[in-house]
Amino acid sequence: MFANKKHFITAIIGVLAALSIIALVLSLVKVEDVTLPPTIKYGMVFDAGSSHTSLFVYEWDSDKENDTGVVSQTLSCHVQGQGISSYASDPPKAGDSLRECLDEALKAIPAAKQRDVPAYLGATAGMRLLREQNSSATAQVLAEVAKTMREYPVAFKGARILTGEEEGTYGWITTNYLLDSFTKFSPKAHSWIHPEAPNIFGALDLGGASTQISFRPEGSVRNWKEASKFTLYGYNYNIYTHSYLCYGQDQVLKRLAKELIAESSSSSWVDHPCYPRDYNETISLSSFRTSPCTNRSDPRLPLGDRSVTLEGRGNASQCLAAIKKLFNFSACGQSQDCTFDGIYQPLVSGQFIAFSAFYYNFRFLNLTEGQSLATVRETIEHFCTRSWGDLSSSYPEEKPERLPKYCAKANYILTLLLDAYKFDETSWNNIFFQMKVGSADVGWTLGYMLNLTNMIPAEAPVRVKGHVPSLWAAAIAFIILTLALGLAALLLLLWV
């Protein structure tokens, strides 16, 4: 192959020299691990309320901020039909009602990540009431919901009924998270930081069957039963929270109708001061037995399953007086740290976000722009005096089953906030009625998902090694270089 011995030795020396150079370069290269960016995680939560169900999909970086995910809302989907508690007599329909939104959610989550997505369903006051009335039907409804969710390629974590206090606490967490009270992004630091002087907001939630108040009082919470403690972003929080079952807007209207009928001397036609003039509604006495809030027997009610017609009178002052009778304010005596029914509550302090039905009712009345309490009262009083013909022609797009009830709902909100929670002319200005912050909905589900990220381990950064460690590279290079030089020297001696 080689013409002579000289050429052969020259070739060997050339190969050895090349290997030496490669080894030398290898030893000089600084080898580091390559860290890949954190991956995106997803989670989904069904809010199974008393009157409707909604699904929310959230996402966050796997590299969490102080053990709590920085969560954002990716999707919201409203389930068609009523709340899952309405399917007590036909539980499979409760599960089937979720399918459309589940299909929608899977379109928003990459297929490769779907099986790792934690999925939850939290039921609130509607199911709490059903559990009091029919525990077996409640279990069947939850079982059918779970059965449906297990059919989808997600990590189903359970369907359960939240306590009222959990609902209030998670609503408070959502509120302050969205308002950057816990953490906010600093463009200067290029990272999430804890505000030096965070403005912590209280949360006011009004649903169909219950209402919640949650806030951080100025002093300590005297009654430990009403306290909620937790840690977010490395900081501890201690808040007051209480939930009032049967004080959601739908149950209050039902209780109001029952009380008006019980007080009336007529057995078939009853005046309703909150309904507009010329509006009539016929209800059956048996409907009161469908809810634990109204199923207690009352000797003042007419006997049998008779129908009664409620005739609107459009009287704002009488409406307000009738609603106040639904509260037991005398149980508090002269105590200032008490709302009604003898329930302890510290004095309200700080700013509050009022969402859900608080917001929707006041938005209809155009009262969500920070109007004074005097303006709010005047607007509600004027609305209550309008006739049914006037209202139906002025609001043709509003659902006819909702329109006649805004007077009662608005007066109930005033009674709850002023007489029960003890807001006044001054502190009223600290209540902000809103349903969204940015593109995210205010409610308990985001707080629930955010809190659960403390139980989902943060992923360690993925580290990819591009070469062998530099210490081994240097050792190999030294051995190759030594052998090459030694062999070259030997060949030279033989040649000579």
Residues recognised as catalytic: 167
Residues 262, 344: Cα–Cα separation, whole Å: 30
Helices 249-263 & 316-324, crossing angle to 10 degrees?
Answer: 100
Measure the CA–CA gap between 231 and 201, rounded to whole angstroms: 16
Tokens standing for residue 157: 């974590």
d(CA 273, CA 205): 26
Closest CA to 291 of 327, 255, 326, 263: 255
Q: Which tokens hold the place of 294?
A: 């109204």
Instruction: Supply the DSSP symbol for 65.
Output: B
Q: Is 32 exposed, middle or buried (0-12, 13-18, 19+ CB in 10 A)?
A: exposed
- The label of the residue with tokens 């030594």 reads 482
Q: Which pair of structure tokens corresponds to residue 359?
A: 């917001």
Token pair of 280, please? 């009539």
**Cα 97–Cα 55–Cα 178 angle in degrees, nearest 5:** 165
Residue 49 · residue 126 · CB < 8 Å: yes
Q: Are 258 and 272 in contact (CB under 8 A)?
A: no
Q: For the beta carbon of residue 234, count every other beta carbon within 10 angstroms.
A: 12
3-state secondary structure of 38: coil
Residue 235 pairs with which residues in a beta bridge?
232
Q: How far is CA 155 from the centre of its chain?
A: 19
**427 vs 423: CA distance, rounded Å:** 6
Contacts of 452 (CB under 8 A, 6+ apart): 43, 118, 120
Backbone angles phi, psi at 201, to 5 degrees: -100, 150
* Distant-in-sequence, close-in-space partners of 144: CB < 8 Å, separation ≥ 6: 87, 91, 92, 93, 94, 95
